[in-house]
């Protein structure tokens, strides 16, 4: 699982791991700088950095807790198996308790700095547990995440969580304990009480006790820890074409029987009864619900064909394997999506994921589902039959994404 910071900022990655209670190692690189975050059950328990200013000795020196000579002399005694912290305690420059607090502060500093990166790459490697050589610390994750986001100075990073003026936020139920634990200032607590009902970012900025940037940053920090949530964030209106889906498609999507679904639609497509213009396939400018509908229609048709030659259990196993590969490349889009024995996916969840993380950016994570299912069909049907299936799938996509001449009239 990897990506760029421009695509998914570090705060968004870490917040996702926090809510999924994931365990693994996050490696972030920007030029020659490299920072590593160790995550256990969603909590950052340790961090490392190759940046000189992130080192423990330099941190203590900047704070005035070490003299220059202390820093130089202690550094001379560092060797494999003998870390700076041990040297400082032995030289009675720190007590063991002070050392623990200093390391906690060092980890927080590394996290804070990494959250401010606006470019670079990250890789998350899931692991069963944290390596034994890593000293794990008990850091309250919601406080660390909240405080780190509130120190982000870049609008480009905060904007990723806001999306737009019309994005709607609402306070999450039962968040009172979090609000109390995070010691949110009284004026912002009053502001939060007004979010019991959904409100747009624009309306929230108009009544907040701070600047618009501060308001947006608080919203992102609250969302990351679960105090507020986004409610059906909108797609960009100017990118939404004013087209309607043919009634034939809507009817077949809602038919509960798989036997009656897209075999019939494919027959209509092959016969040319669905009169549509040549497909100008621009799914990146389609509303998210339309993109998911297109994938849903084609997936159900493929499922109908798969279960003619495979048992539902085997077909489900194969489709689930495809989904798991997609979760590795587009984790947020496919988060919590699984295939059941009826061939259905949680389409509402997929749509919500798409809404949250952007239709344009994540469309490339949807189409591979159909592409890989077609490859699966190649193992089940003759080549000439698969070519006919692909034509039918193309017609289905046309029917969903384009308006029929009849509908236009």
Per-domain boundaries in the chain: 2-138, 154-234, 239-408
pLDDT: which is higher, 304 or 152: 152
Count of CB atoms within 10 A of residue 63's CB? 10
Distance from C-alpha of 137 to C-alpha of 133, rounded to nearest angstrom: 13
pLDDT mean over 344-365:
71
Q: How confident is the model at residue 219 (pLDDT cuts 50, 70, 90)?
A: very high
pLDDT at 357: 57
Cβ burial, residue 403 (10 Å; 0-12/13-18/19+): middle
Reported as type and span, the H/E element at residue 14 is helix 10-20
DSSP 30-62: ETTEEEEEEEETTEEEEEEE--GGGSHHHHHHH
pLDDT: which is higher, 132 or 374: 374
How far is C-alpha 274 from the chain's CA centre? Answer: 37
pLDDT mean over 258-263:
36
Q: What is the pTM of this model?
A: 0.58
CA angle 157, 162, 167 (to 5 degrees): 165
Given a contact cutoff of 8 angstroms between Cβ atoms, the answer to whether 266 and 392 are in contact is: yes
pLDDT at 358: 53
Q: State yes or no: pLDDT of 384 exceeds 70.
A: yes
Residue pLDDT, tens place only, 165-177: 878 899 988 888 8
Percentage of residues in the chain having pLDDT higher than 70: 81
- Under 8 Å CB-to-CB from 397, ≥6 apart: which residues? 279, 281, 294, 297, 298
pLDDT at 76: 82
- Under 8 Å CB-to-CB from 240, ≥6 apart: which residues? 285, 286, 287
pLDDT at 287: 58
Given a contact cutoff of 8 angstroms between Cβ atoms, the answer to whether 289 and 359 are in contact is: no
Q: State yes or no: pLDDT of 399 exceeds 60.
A: yes
Report the SS3 class of residue 138. Answer: coil
Lowest mean pLDDT among 128-142, 158-172, 235-249: 235-249
How far is C-alpha 37 from the chain's CA centre? Answer: 17
Given a contact cutoff of 8 angstroms between Cβ atoms, the answer to whether 42 and 225 are in contact is: no
Q: State yes or no: pLDDT of 264 exceeds 70.
A: no
Helix, strand, coil tally for the chain in percent (to 5): 55, 10, 35
């Amino acid at each position: 699982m990897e990506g760029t910071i421009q695509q998914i900022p570090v705060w968004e990655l870490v917040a996702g791991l926090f809510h999924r209670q994931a365990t693994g190692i996050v490696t972030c690189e920007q030029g020659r700088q490299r920072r590593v975050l160790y995550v256990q059950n969603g909590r950052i328990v340790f961090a490392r950095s190759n940046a000189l200013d992130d080192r423990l000795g330099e941190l203590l020196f900047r704070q005035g807790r070490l003299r220059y000579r202390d820093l130089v002399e202690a550094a001379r005694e560092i060797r494999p198996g003998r870390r700076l912290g041990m040297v400082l305690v032995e030289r009675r420059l720190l007590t063991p308790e002070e050392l623990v607090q200093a390391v906690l502060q060092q980890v927080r500093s590394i996290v804070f700095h990494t959250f401010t990166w606006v470019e670079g790459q990250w890789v998350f490697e899931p692991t069963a547990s944290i390596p034994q050589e890593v000293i794990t610390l008990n850091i309250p994750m919601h406080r660390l995440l909240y405080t780190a986001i509130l120190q982000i100075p870049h609008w480009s990073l905060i904007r990723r969580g806001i999306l737009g003026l019309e994005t709607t936020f609402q306070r999450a139920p039962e968040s009172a304990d979090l609000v109390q634990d995070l010691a949110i200032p009284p004026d912002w607590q009053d502001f939060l009480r007004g979010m019991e009902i959904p409100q747009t970012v624009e309306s929230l900025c108009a009544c907040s006790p701070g600047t618009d940037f501060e308001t947006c940053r608080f919203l992102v920090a609250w969302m990351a820890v679960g105090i507020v949530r986004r409610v059906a964030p909108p797609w960009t209106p100017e990118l939404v074409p004013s087209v309607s889906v043919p009634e034939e498609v809507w009817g077949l999507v809602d038919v509960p029987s798989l036997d009656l679904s897209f075999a019939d639609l494919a027959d209509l497509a092959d016969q040319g009864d669905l009169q549509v213009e040549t497909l100008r396939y621009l799914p990146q400018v389609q509303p998210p619900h339309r993109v998911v509908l297109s994938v849903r229609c084609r997936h159900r048709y493929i499922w109908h064909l798969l279960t003619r030659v495979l048992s539902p259990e085997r077909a489900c196993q194969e489709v689930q394997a495809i989904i798991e590969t997609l979760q590795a490349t587009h984790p947020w889009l496919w988060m919590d999506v699984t295939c059941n024995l009826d061939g259905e996916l949680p389409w509402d969840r997929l749509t919500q994921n798409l809404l949250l993380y952007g239709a344009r950016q994540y469309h490339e994570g949807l189409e591979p589902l159909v592409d890989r299912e077609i490859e699966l069909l190649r193992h089940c049907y003759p080549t000439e039959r698969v070519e006919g299936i692909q034509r039918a799938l193309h017609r289905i996509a046309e029917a969903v994404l384009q308006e029929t001449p009849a509908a236009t009239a």
